Chains A and B, each alone.
Chain A
Amino acid sequence: NAGVTQTPKFQVLKTGQSMTLQCAQDMNHEYMSWYRQDPGMGLRLIHYSVGAGITDQGEVPNGYNVSRSTTEDFPLRLLSAAPSQTSVYFCASRGGWEVGSRETQYFGPGTRLLVL
Chain B
Amino acid sequence: EDKVVQSPLSLVVHEGDTVTLNCSYEVTNFRSLLWYKQEKKAPTFLFMLTSSGIEKKSGRLSSILDKKELFSILNITATQTGDSAIYLCAATSGTYKYIFGTGTRLKVLA
Given contacts A41-B102, A42-B100, A42-B103, are A107 and B34 in contact (CB under 8 A)?
Answer: no
Interface size on B (CB < 8 Å)? 21
B102 — which chain A residues lie within 8 A by C-beta? Answer: 40-42
In the assembled complex, B32 has its CB within 8 A of some CB on chain A? yes
Of A11-19, A44-52, A69-77, A78-86, the one touching chain B: A44-52
| In contact, B43 and A43 (Cβ under 8 angstroms) | yes
Please report the C-alpha to C-alpha distance between residue A44 and residue B100 in the assembled complex, in whole angstroms. 7
Please report the C-alpha to C-alpha distance between residue A110 and residue B41 in the assembled complex, in whole angstroms. 7
Please report the C-alpha to C-alpha distance between residue A42 and residue B88 in the assembled complex, in whole angstroms. 8
| In contact, B100 and A33 (Cβ under 8 angstroms) | no
Interchain nearest-CB distance for B85 vs A (Å): 14
| In contact, A31 and B42 (Cβ under 8 angstroms) | no
| In contact, A56 and B88 (Cβ under 8 angstroms) | no
A44 — which chain B residues lie within 8 A by C-beta? Answer: 100
Partner among B32, B45, B97 whose Cβ is within 8 Å of the Cβ of A45: B97
B101 — which chain A residues lie within 8 A by C-beta? Answer: 42
A108 — which chain B residues lie within 8 A by C-beta? Answer: 42
| In contact, A48 and B100 (Cβ under 8 angstroms) | no
> Which single residue of chain B is at the shortest CB-CB distance from A99?
B31
Interchain nearest-CB distance for B77 vs A (Å): 23
Identify the interface centre among A43, A48, A50, A107: most chain B CB within 10 Å of its CB: A43
Query: B interface vs A, CB < 8 Å?
Result: 4, 31-32, 34, 41-45, 48, 88, 90, 92, 96-103
